[in-house]
Amino acid sequence: ILAIWHQLTKTEIPELTRVSVMMRERSRVEDTMYAMQKAGAGSLQVISDFDMTLTKFAHKGKRVPTTHNILNNRLLIDDDSTVKMKKLFNTYYPIEIDASLNPEEKLPYMVEWWTKVHDLLIQQRIRKDELARAVRDSNAVLREGCSAFFDCLAEQRVPLLIFSAGVGDILEEVIRQNHVFHPNVHIISNYMDFDHTGVLQAFKGQLIHSYNKRAGALSHGATLRELHGQPNVLLLGDSLGDLSMADGVSTAQNILTVGFLNDQVEERKESFLNSFDIVLLRDETMDVPNAILRFIV
Ligand code: C5P
Ligand code: MG
């Protein structure tokens, strides 16, 4: 029977046989997918990271900006600050993805990075009414097939929780400009707080960075409670820190995790394989998540 099942996935989901797809335990993936298919769209929710998960890592040979980096624009901040932000990225991003450090070791550096950049943005008195233009000006681009992913979830009324350590206001603008900000989309992120004249004065709530998503997931219980009727979770991320995004779902029955391994691929392959059910190597498309979705709903 198992052989027939394997055959089934091969013919029904040819995307999973690509060389860019790796699985530590194929049978676990298949069992989970069949259980999710049996329960159907009504039992499913999707929890996804944003930067470098729903957006591309690189496009036409250039790195795609994160929501923070979209703000690194002369329109919004002065020359001196653009240089500073770039420097901070070059200092801290390598630490974020360093395979030789564990999350506890990275944590203080991440807090430092986010805090420095948020302080800089506040000091630059960013204006709310210029964010949309900064997004239009930027090279932000969603993964190929991402619109189809959003549209399918909306059609099937599957809730999509986007859980991002980026900047919520920018994230919303990116998905709005891509015409995929559908009513089934919920967002947990770092939101800007503007004064009455529309100038940035602070960031709202507890800071979310790449390695404290568990705390965020637990404290945003109210938002997550709306998703409580959906015990099956498809989780997408590009960082080991993204795996805790589903920790707030207390009623989870089946969780299938997909990890985009964009950078430092050889160094991080083993840890990704040990942590995500499916690992996608340098894959700039949503082909695999779309195929999984087609199979389940
Ligand atoms: O949506 P996601 O949780 O992936 O957003 C966070 C990402 O933004 C981090 O992975 C980090 O690489 C990036 N970042 C950045 N500039 C900062 C802070 C984070 O580009 N100041
Ligand atoms: Mg990310």
Closest C-alpha to ligand 1, atom 15: 68
- Residue whose CB lies within 8 A of the most ligand 1 atoms, among 52, 77, 188, 238, for a mutation test: 52
Contact 239, 252 (CB under 8 A): no
**In the prediction, which pLDDT does 52 show?**
98
With contact defined as beta carbons under 8 Å apart, do 259 and 278 qualify? yes
Determine if residue 112 is left, alpha or beta; phi over 0 gives left, psi from -120 to 50 gives alpha, anything else beta.
Answer: alpha
pTM equals: 0.96
List Cβ<8 Å contacts ≥24 apart for 220-223: 220/188, 220/248, 221/248, 223/161, 223/186, 223/188
Helix intervals (H) in the chain: 2-12, 26-39, 67-70, 79-96, 103-123, 131-137, 146-155, 168-177, 213-219, 221-225, 265-275, 287-296
> How far is it, in rounded angstroms, from Cα 151 to Cα 132?
22
Residue 147 has what pLDDT? 98
pLDDT tens digits for range 179-192? 999 999 999 999 99
pLDDT for res 274: 98
Q: Examine the residue annotation and report whether 49 is marked as an active-site residue of this protein.
A: yes
ipTM above 0.85, yes or no: yes
Question: Residue 1: what pLDDT?
Answer: 57
Torsion of CA 132, 206, 125, 66, to 10 degrees: -40
Q: Ligand 2 mean position to 1 CA, how many Å?
A: 38
Q: Which atom in ligand 1 lies closest to the alpha carbon of residue 208?
A: 3
Check residue 226 and give its pLDDT: 72
- The parts of the chain modelled with pLDDT lower than 70 are 1-11
What CA–CA distance (Å, rounded) separates 290 from 258?
A: 12
Q: What is the pLDDT of residue 172?
A: 98
Confidence at residue 168, expressed as pLDDT on a 0 to 100 scale? 98
Please give the pLDDT value at position 229.
Answer: 82
Where does ligand 1 bind, in terms of residues with CB under 6 Å? 49-52, 66, 68-69, 89, 93, 96, 113-114, 117, 164-166, 210, 239
Using a 10 angstrom Cβ sphere, with 0-12 exposed, 13-18 middle and 19 or more buried, the burial of residue 240 is buried
Please state, in angstroms and rounded to a whole number, the distance separating the CA atoms of residues 127 and 117. 16
Q: In this structure, what are the phi and psi dihedrals at residue 290, rounded to the nearest 5 degrees?
A: -65, -40
Other CB atoms within 10 Å distance of the CB of residue 105: 12
CA angle 98, 263, 21 (to 5 degrees): 120
What is the position in ligand 1's atom list of the atom closest to the CA of 117? 21
179 CA distance to ligand 1 centroid (A)?
23
Residue of the CA atom closest to atom 18 of ligand 1: 114
pLDDT of amino acid 225: 72
Q: Count of CB atoms within 10 A of residue 214's CB? A: 15
Q: Quick one: how many helices (H) and strands (E) in the chain?
A: 12, 11
Question: 219 CB contacts (<8 Å, ≥6 apart)?
Answer: 206
